[in-house]
Structure 1
């Protein structure tokens, strides 16, 4: 009997050891996904290029790891027992089908590769964490350390620049490695519930570090002044706080809970008062800044007279008009940016451009149809009610707490998706994949017993396509990454000669053409890649080649004014004034608030002796902007035209009513009839 006991004990060691090794490997793999957010900035037009590529590579590594082991069979099978899985797969599938209706299918595939990447990540997270809830306690320590480093750096950067840098510039500089303050704030909001989980479940040094991290994470969210982040912070706080109170009241374990609650609440309150006091003092030296305190910024959310709120509402209205034209199929996944100039042109001054309607649900409806947007929304609704059912059930309190934490993070993501476009940002998408992965196969899944069937085919059917799709996404992201690196060099080269007549860029067309790939066709600043090449041809006075190149790629993004403006300048340089006027008017009509386009078209109207055209161009511009520079140029154009002098005087007198100190218009007055 003694030998038999020894045999059993030895067997237990042998069976537990691989599980421990597997858990450690899983922790490393998942930690690497979260560490993608910490990759130092590289010379690239947008940091997300390197992030997408790294996530796709991690998917391949994780997929091969899952393929090698039979420990994940139950996790794979459990994926398809959850209705959220089928909703998400339906969303991804319909998004892919919509590309067949896209204006630019190539661009659709580039953006769809990102969705496929996150789809794979979702399922990998779900499989890896299946029935491994204890791993979350270790993972949140990793997340906590990452947030501690990022938020500490952000707080130090803010206080170092306070009083030395304009407040608006300082706030906008709080970006971490994301390249945008709003993305940084959104990521913190989504991670904060995980920090709270670390405080609740860990002891000793990690608990104290969790408390410090929570303080340092909440502080920059207040400093950054992102209204969607404020709403997300409030929502997650109320959800996690309210449901945790409910959970503790039901379990009657109040002593430790009261202490934790007071500590967490105290941290929020302390961070709030420190941030508001600091921002109030900073505002005294920055009277013109749009940023302010928590109350100032949150109050503008419902203020339709506020410029930022008003412009977002106009985006949504314009987006709804576009959606109404193709409600079933949409314009094709990844193609919204091609159509957005149709409604953003009259809304934004000069060359500012918005690729997104600042609402992922609206953008999904516009790209792949209203039904697909409803399906995407249903994922959140199902997750919410599934979490509530778990919290009210008789399941393990640990499972209930995890459901609350995941729901708090999901609320932060939902708010950001409603006001911004987190679907484009890889660091936010990793968080979404983690949240959804946990939902799919662990805590919101059915509570039925585990299947013990170990049929290899069940694993291969899932993993082989995952790896194949993973290889495709790595290839696409590699092309995009290479393009983004060259875009960085090319854009800086071209920007160096902006507004410098006769200046020559460092690069030649032949160099740019050889290193800048044709795929993707659309650059990150929404310019057609071929447009950048055509600018070099123009500098080298290879005008016909430039025109031919622009004409050959016009279909790739027909609603942007950039190519029309370049054609206008080329025809002007070649003395083809009729053609120059044609494309100058076209650019001005697409962006009627752009002063440069207005000025060029107005000049060409004058040299073509089209006085009515001069009036029409100004009337259109004046509809959107009543500024001194336009009145001054309108008067100049009319003065040097062949228009009747009385007509010119009328223009000058009208302009001086608005801007009586304008020196140009005042100089014309003595030269005009009394």
Structure 2
């Protein structure tokens, strides 16, 4: 219901904006001005935050904090990129103080994008500037006002170069120790060439695994919004511990997987049709203003397209608003040249549409309100549980009854991809209401059937109940289903050694080691064998080998005196 409400909101927004803009494209100047002012504020906050903290916190953390109100730096950068053509349009159409404001906003927007270090944003920026440069050069080539065009072009180039040079100098100084994941634009774009296989680029690995899901149901898909239900089957061997990917980082692939390849082609056709309409307008006898609008709108759409290819903007409300705005501008700009019956506004169909749209909006508002309420509850509950994580005797501040009441009926899956029922079960476990907790986990299993976190929770509950056989059963189930998860591996290995099951200890380690080699797992493997009545001579060989790999490991050094 939630994903359908999201889709409905976007569709209604498109129709409403299109109706408002039809034959009123002069309003675009005001829209561009609003976007310019908002971008100025966001850019100013981003740049000042960076320089206030550049020598105070690690650069990787600082760059990840450059996210505005979006909660994610990549989303923040994508929003800047999509808004950038609007700022350029404001620069082209305004004079005096407002033109100066547009220049400052463009500077801060570009500066922020360079600081944020999002590679998809860099590619989107290159594509947008290329489209705008070629398009405007084509329009102004024989224009008598070409001198004005040259002045505007010089402003844009100067701002681009200045923001680039200052930002790169700052980033170079901030990352000169070489320990940062991030760096200059050249460094970040260079990693695209280096990370061109599934072994070096997790996105490519996601895409390859996603093809397997698409092949299962190529025409119908697994259902809109259901990607996260199936993704554990394909990403559990790619991601460590509790890292979970709800999306394949490509909207075209995700749409193909959820609703079928035909719908992915339809989605792609939006961009193809936009290109065709833009070319037709440019080659027509339309006014210079209409042609300029088509270039600006298509450039903005190209920024969205780039982000859709590497991320998942379809899931981001702020990006979707920009998307439907750009599409509405393209469509209304095209329709403004068509002869449409002026009496259409008096037709009953408009009134009917308005009534239906209003009713649908009310339903969508209700669903979105429930999502907002749930998000607030999740924030409170997750922080309450996080405060006692790893402290066995600590109790959360909230009680189960409080938690049960605070969550609305929808959605049933949280933002961190665990079901709301899992959160409730944790409170039941803390209150020693073990049977109720297990019943809760069983009742919500169908909501995320491929997520083994529920089995891990059951393992812990049965361990507290001293039912070791059941704990061992669910511990193994979790460890084998998510073989890169250290805590699942450790729990299953512990229960295997309690059962003196040497073969299971070895099997668990070999499975984990196949995908992930690290000190903590090897150390625990050696310890588990030691306490499993395994041959001490064989344990000594394993410990000696481990100390060659990890010579300072305290656990293996502690076992050494007890071995022959």
Category of TM-score, reference length = shorter chain: over 0.9
* Structure 2 CA distance for aligned equivalents of residues 613 and 518 of structure 1: 42
* Structure 1 CA distance for aligned equivalents of residues 559 and 388 of structure 2: 33
Tell me which residue corresponds to 2:79: 187
Tell me which residue corresponds to 1:447: 337
**Cα shift readout 1:134-164 (whole Å, capped 9, x = no counterpart):** 1111111111111111100100001111122
* Structure 2 CA distance for aligned equivalents of residues 562 and 378 of structure 1: 39
Tell me which residue corresponds to 2:400: 509
Tell me which residue corresponds to 1:176: 68
Decide whether aligned partners of structure 1 residues 308 and 517 sit closer, same or farther in structure 2, where only a CA change above 3 A counts.
farther
* Structure 1 CA distance for aligned equivalents of residues 65 and 451 of structure 2: 29
Decide whether aligned partners of structure 1 residues 358 and 309 sit closer, same or farther in structure 2, where only a CA change above 3 A counts.
farther
Aligned positions of 1:270-289 closer than 5 A = 270-284=162-176, 286-289=177-180
Residues 240 and 484 in structure 2, CA contact (< 8 A), matched pair in contact too: yes
Residues 197 and 204 in structure 2, CA contact (< 8 A), matched pair in contact too: no
TM-fit CA distance, 1:516? 1.6
**Cα shift readout 1:485-508 (whole Å, capped 9, x = no counterpart):** 111111111011001120000011
* Structure 2 CA distance for aligned equivalents of residues 353 and 485 of structure 1: 21
Q: Which runs of 5+ in 2 are unaligned?
A: none
Residues 298 and 330 in structure 2, CA contact (< 8 A), matched pair in contact too: no
Q: Is residue 135 of structure 1 aligned with residue 27 of structure 2? A: yes
* Structure 1 CA distance for aligned equivalents of residues 111 and 316 of structure 2: 22
Q: Is residue 651 of structure 1 aligned with residue 542 of structure 2? A: yes
Tell me which residue corresponds to 1:464: 355
State which of 440, 450, 453 in structure 2 corresponds to 1:549. 440
Residues 167 and 282 in structure 1, CA contact (< 8 A), matched pair in contact too: yes
**Cα shift readout 1:163-219 (whole Å, capped 9, x = no counterpart):** 221110110111111111111110000001000000000112111100111001000
State which of 132, 140, 144 in structure 1 corresponds to 2:36. 144
State which of 398, 401, 424 in structure 1 corresponds to 2:289. 398
Tell me which residue corresponds to 2:221: 330
State which of 279, 294, 299 in structure 1 corresponds to 2:190. 299
* Structure 2 CA distance for aligned equivalents of residues 302 and 355 of structure 1: 26
Residues 300 and 306 in structure 1, CA contact (< 8 A), matched pair in contact too: no
* Structure 2 CA distance for aligned equivalents of residues 137 and 642 of structure 1: 78
* Structure 2 CA distance for aligned equivalents of residues 142 and 364 of structure 1: 32
* Structure 2 CA distance for aligned equivalents of residues 507 and 307 of structure 1: 43
* Structure 1 CA distance for aligned equivalents of residues 467 and 144 of structure 2: 84
Question: How many equivalent residue pairs?
Answer: 563
Residues 193 and 408 in structure 1, CA contact (< 8 A), matched pair in contact too: yes
Which piece of structure 1 moves more, 631-640 or 607-616? Answer: 607-616
Residues 46 and 68 in structure 2, CA contact (< 8 A), matched pair in contact too: yes
**Cα shift readout 1:247-286 (whole Å, capped 9, x = no counterpart):** 10143431101111111111101111111111111112x4
Matched residue SS, 2:194? coil
**Cα shift readout 1:424-455 (whole Å, capped 9, x = no counterpart):** 11111110010111122x21237332312244
Q: Is residue 629 of structure 1 aligned with residue 528 of structure 2? A: no
TM-fit CA distance, 1:356? 0.6
Over aligned residue pairs, what C-alpha RMSD do you find? Answer: 1.4
* Structure 1 CA distance for aligned equivalents of residues 351 and 375 of structure 2: 35
Q: Is residue 379 of structure 1 aligned with residue 379 of structure 2? A: no
Tell me which residue corresponds to 2:530: 639
Tell me which residue corresponds to 1:158: 50
* Structure 2 CA distance for aligned equivalents of residues 590 and 465 of structure 1: 47
Residues 126 and 439 in structure 1, CA contact (< 8 A), matched pair in contact too: no
* Structure 1 CA distance for aligned equivalents of residues 3 and 432 of structure 2: 35
TM-fit CA distance, 1:348? 1.2
Matched residue SS, 1:350? coil
Q: Is residue 586 of structure 1 aligned with residue 474 of structure 2? A: no
TM-fit CA distance, 1:580? 0.6
TM-score for the superposition, normalised by structure 1? 0.82
Tell me which residue corresponds to 1:599: 490
* Structure 2 CA distance for aligned equivalents of residues 275 and 519 of structure 1: 44
TM-fit CA distance, 1:337? 0.9
Aligned positions of 1:59-458 closer than 5 A = 109-284=1-176, 286-304=177-195, 310-440=201-331, 442-445=332-335, 447-454=337-344, 455-458=346-349
TM-score for the superposition, normalised by structure 2? 0.98
- Higher RCO, 1 or 2 (CA under 8 Å, sep at least 6)? 1
Q: Which runs of 5+ in 1 are unaligned?
A: 1-108
TM-fit CA distance, 1:306? 8.4
* Structure 1 CA distance for aligned equivalents of residues 276 and 200 of structure 2: 31
* Structure 1 CA distance for aligned equivalents of residues 260 and 200 of structure 2: 25
Residues 649 and 669 in structure 1, CA contact (< 8 A), matched pair in contact too: yes
Matched residue SS, 2:193? coil
Tell me which residue corresponds to 1:85: none
